[in-house]
Amino acid sequence: MKKYLLTLILPAIVLALASCSTKQATDTRTISTEVLKDKIAGGWAGKMIGVTYGAPTEFRAQGKTYEDPIKWVSSDVKGSIWQDDIYVQLTFLMTMDRYGMDAPAKKYQELFAKAGYQLWHANVQARKNYFDSIFPPQSGHPDYNLHADDIDFQIEADYIGFMCPGMPQTANQIADKIGHIMNYGDGVYGGVFVAALYAEAYFENDIPKIIDKALLSIPAESDYAKAVQDVILLHRQYPADWRAAWAELEAKWGKDHICGAGSTFNIDAKLNGAYIVMGLLYGEGDPVKTMEVSTRCGQDSDCNPSNAMAVLGVIKGLSGLPQEYQEAVKAIGDSLFINTTYSFNKAVDKTLEYARKLAVENGGEATETELKVKVQQPQTFALEIAFPKLVFDSKSGVFDKEVWEMKGDWNSYSYINPWSKKEHKDQARFSGTAGDEISFTFEGTGVSLSGNWFKDGGKADIFVDGQFKRTVDCYFNFANQQHENMNLFHIINMPEGKHTIKAVVKGEKRAESSGTNVYITEAVVFKTADKINENYKFSFQK
């Protein structure tokens, strides 16, 4: 009798589960045009509010929490007009306007490379790569961008999530193209994750559920996902003490970064992404508390509250934010963000337009008053690891004669900082004479040769262990920017042992350069660790 009943019941259960699965896979949600626009406006406003809230604290707390008073008034939101968190992604919107949503990644790279605003880290390397004819996805690949794991795409992927309500798979497709302009691996996952947060926040108000769902868009094996999962775990352990959670997180992840290796400076996407999640979980939906926690966690502490606040903006809509925030944003609604054709009002209108278009292209329906979205289940991004098990070993300045060898006429470069008036003596060695050589011998599995990108920069051939690798160009004079102590060339995944890297001045330059100088500042040596954080246990797990 029991066996007979089981035979009847099991098919019914299977059919019910299949029906449930089909319903979930084809779930359609309806949102009014008014509410959709309000949520989009809330997202953009959240970005503007959060970035200006944290702006005075940016990198003031490295490897520690920020404990000084945070002085912010809602009218400070006007400073968002000059923030790279916003103007870079508006250039991507401008690219879509001009060339269509399906424009190749190279077009997106071109417009942002030629924009008049200044850039840093992975973004500025992607800009230089464009002018050195290194295009996506190579422009963000760790072979050509030592900043591959940096925060850049994380702070400029918001527009992707804003225009993909309930459509994380579509967000992933766009992020795959745009994120690889400047990043790779965890650096791309930062943008994928925040875009997924927004995509989920349109139809879900529960913050922990939004975070859990967004995590499904990135591979669980990635360090980015592991760091976020650690924040979730720490929040459960210390539900009322974010500083205790921060201390445990810092002990595990605080020194695991490539850009800025050997210093307390950490612009890595995963650590700063973890701070976004800290703000969201401990903020409990309160805008001030959310911004305060994500800011006080430190490091890139304008970007992190900007992303966290934008999530609240999508959840609550602009109309659900404090009245003084709404008024401050509306007061500058038609002001253009620098070197773009976009204002807040235009960003909202165009994002709404693209959101409706993407929804229809993905099986939804649009009328003047509402949008039916065919809700997508998250699909995990492919696993990428930029710098597998690579860790910092040592640095050596170019004036350390014991490990550097020079042939030819290498002069000392010193300068006076125009802002601080401080003199920086012996900042680099330089030569513009063809055939002059400089070499560095080290033991490790990777090395970065650093120098200056200047308007009189020239070209050099790079050799590693006697083998020619490629020619590098030290010229840079875009958007009124020159850069000191930048990565000129790097190589990783070498066999453990003794190696030599050598630069040979070519005495050649591109037409725009005023000289042929090659500037060398230091070498950063890396080694390969057997395990990084794999067996780490928090204090309460021991």
Q: What is the pLDDT of residues 18-38, one digit of tens each?
A: 433 334 446 999 999 999 999
* Helix (H), strand (E) at residue 350: helix 344-361
Q: Mean per-residue pLDDT for 279-296?
A: 98
* Helix (H), strand (E) at residue 313: helix 303-316
Asked if residue 1 has pLDDT above 60, the reply is: no
Residues 457 and 513 sit within 8 Å (Cβ to Cβ): yes
β-partners of residue 438 are: 406, 503
Structure-block tokens of residue 211: 């975070």
Asked if residue 534 has pLDDT above 90, the reply is: no
Q: Between β-strands 446-453 and 497-505, what pairing exists: parallel, antiparallel or unpaired?
A: unpaired
pLDDT band at 17 (very low <50, low <70, confident <90, very high): very low
Select from 163, 114, 131, 113 the least CA-distant residue to 351.
163
Q: Mean per-residue pLDDT for 493-500?
A: 96
- The whole-number pLDDT of residue 256 equals 83
Domain architecture of the chain: domains with CATH:
29-374 (1.10.4080.10), 390-528 (2.60.120.260)
- The whole-number pLDDT of residue 5 equals 35
Model-level pTM? 0.94
CA pair distance 277, 255, nearest whole angstrom: 19
Distance set, CA 9 to CA 3, 224, 503, 517 (Å) = 10, 43, 75, 80
Structure-block tokens of residue 276: 């976004």
User: SS3 for 392-451, per residue?
Assistant: EEEEEECCCCCCEEEECCCEEEEEECCCCCCEEEEEEEEECCCCCEEEEEEEECEEEEEE
Angle between helices 186-201 and 207-215 (to 10 degrees): 140
Q: Any idea which of 126-130, 224-228, 259-263 has the lowest mean pLDDT?
A: 259-263
Q: Any idea which of 159-163, 414-418, 462-466, 497-501 has the lowest mean pLDDT?
A: 414-418
- The whole-number pLDDT of residue 12 equals 42
β-partners of residue 374 are: 28
Asked if residue 9 has pLDDT above 80, the reply is: no
Q: How do residues 397-441 score in pLDDT, each as one tens digit?
A: 999 988 999 999 999 999 887 777 888 899 999 999 999 999 999
Select from 443, 349, 364 the least CA-distant residue to 396.
443
Q: Mean per-residue pLDDT for 329-357?
A: 98
CA pair distance 348, 320, nearest whole angstrom: 16
Mean pLDDT of the chain, nearest integer: 94
| pLDDT cut 90: percent of the chain above it | 91
- The whole-number pLDDT of residue 26 equals 64
Asked if residue 151 has pLDDT above 80, the reply is: yes
Asked if residue 312 has pLDDT above 60, the reply is: yes
Could you give the 3-state DSSP secondary structure of residue 518?
strand
Select from 500, 395, 499 the least CA-distant residue to 437.
500
- The whole-number pLDDT of residue 360 equals 98
